[in-house]
A and B are shown apart, each in its own frame.
Chain A
Amino acid sequence: MNTKEIEELLEKYYEGETSLAEENSLKEFFSGDDIPGHLLVHKPLFRFLKEEATKSMNEESQEASLTRHIEKYRAETSIVKTHPGRKRLFYLSGMAATLLILFSLVFVIRNEVGRRNHNRDVNSSTELAYAQTKQALLFVSVGLNTGLDAVRHFKTLDNAMGQIQKINKFYDYQTQFINPEWIKDPSINK
């Protein structure tokens, strides 16, 4: 292929009008050694394009990548595996809580009913109730009497308070004759 044809092909190439076959012949031309000086600018491009098409994936790194993927997949699935166990535990604890509430309710109700029945028995026997009330009132009465013994001392205090009352009256009487201004103003003493 002569230089002129190559120049024409290059022109078409940059306009995006070449066919695949024409592009291949350009690649072939530039991978040879016989390239005129003014076309050398295009050499790296076509060499690169041709070489890049032969690059393949490294087998070793491919395995490494696959292992990475499998590990990732395993990590994801292991999370899924633990899930049903957790769910069962969740339902079981729910059932246990319900049973606990039910049993405690039954227990409380039975206790309450038993206590009411007991109270009703006491009320029904009037004599027993009377005796019990009497006993309680007697207990209060005895307690009150002991309390009153201690209160007797207050009488002495009351007498003393009467004495103090007299002193107060004396102060009131005194203020009628003494002008409080005299005490406040020091110039009057002079």
Chain B
Amino acid sequence: MNLQDFNTKVYPLKDKIFRFARRMLDQTEEAEDLVQEVFIRMWKIREKLDEYRSLEALAMITTKNLCLDKLKAKKFPLESFNDQRWYIETIAEETLPDHSDFVLGVKEAMNTLPEQSRMIVHLRDIEGYEFGEIAEIMDMQENAIRVALSRARKRIREILINSKKYEYQRN
């Protein structure tokens, strides 16, 4: 695959990769860097790209794996200690003592989901992939994906209804 093919077949996936990465990392800048990282990985194996059935699935699998690596690295206390996000969170807690006042939006509700469920909801409800495609990306059985999806959707509904109730009570 030459540069021209790469530009027409792989490059247009950038927004999908970006949205997926930002959903998982919850940080725009990190997600942008991850998009480049995915492209670099794909470019390195450009000779073999024609052998893959679906470049989009390959790109999404690469994104998924890189995101999981990044998230795993973040779980180490030393690294999260220096993390900007950690800093912002502490500031927010300090300056907003009445933290419970904050009503959870859909994005925050999604962020409370475990990594796997969040990925599945994103791939299905935002990107609109078929169950077969999601099964390939997640390396799971279709049935397991349906079950996880249903559970995650209900969880989001529960959080949204609860925060809505809370909003009404306060008003």
| CB contact list, B143-158 vs A, under 8 A | 146-147, 149-150, 153-154, 156-157
Q: Mark A19-60, 1 if CB is under 8 A from B, else 0.
A: 010011000000000000000011011001100110111100
> Do A16 and B19 touch across chains, with their CB atoms under 8 A apart?
no
- Per a CB cutoff under 8 Å, which of B105, B128, B164 touches A24? B128
- Per a CB cutoff under 8 Å, which of B18, B125, B130, B160 touches A57? B18
> Do B126 and A14 touch across chains, with their CB atoms under 8 A apart?
no
> Do B35 and A57 touch across chains, with their CB atoms under 8 A apart?
yes
> Do A53 and B128 touch across chains, with their CB atoms under 8 A apart?
yes
> Do B107 and A61 touch across chains, with their CB atoms under 8 A apart?
no
- Per a CB cutoff under 8 Å, which of B14, B18, B150 touches A15? B150
> Do A13 and B19 touch across chains, with their CB atoms under 8 A apart?
no
- In the assembled complex, which residues on chain A have CB atoms less than 8 Å from the CB atom of B127? 53
Closest residue on chain B to residue A16 by CB atoms: B150
- Per a CB cutoff under 8 Å, which of A41, A49, A57, A66 touches B161? A41
Q: Given the complex of chains A and B, what is the CA–CA distance between A24 and B125 in angstroms?
A: 9
Q: Given the complex of chains A and B, what is the CA–CA distance between A149 and B105 in angstroms?
A: 117
Stretch touching chain A among B25-33, B56-64, B70-78, B90-98: B25-33
- Per a CB cutoff under 8 Å, which of B33, B105, B154 touches A68? B33
Q: A15-B150, A53-B126 are in contact. Are A48 and B107 (CB under 8 A)?
A: yes
Q: A45-B106, A68-B33 are in contact. Are A56 and B128 (CB under 8 A)?
A: no
- A65 interface residue, CB < 8 Å from B? yes
- Per a CB cutoff under 8 Å, which of A13, A58, A62, A66 touches B153? A13
Q: Given the complex of chains A and B, what is the CA–CA distance between A52 and B105 in angstroms?
A: 13
Q: A13-B153, A45-B157, A56-B15 are in contact. Are A69 and B33 (CB under 8 A)?
A: yes
Nearest 6 CB-CB pairings of A with B? A16-B150, A48-B106, A65-B32, A57-B18, A56-B15, A16-B149
A-B contacts, 14 of them at CB < 8 A, read: A14-B150, A16-B147, A17-B146, A41-B164, A44-B105, A48-B105, A49-B125, A49-B126, A55-B18, A56-B18, A57-B14, A58-B32, A62-B14, A69-B36
Binding site for B on A (CB under 8 A): 13-17, 20, 23-24, 41-42, 44-45, 48-49, 52-53, 55-58, 61-62, 64-66, 68-69
Given A44-B106, A49-B125, 20 more A-B residue pairs with CB atoms under 8 Å apart are: A13-B153, A14-B150, A14-B153, A16-B146, A41-B164, A44-B105, A45-B156, A45-B157, A48-B105, A52-B126, A55-B15, A55-B19, A56-B15, A57-B32, A58-B32, A61-B29, A61-B32, A65-B33, A69-B37, A69-B40
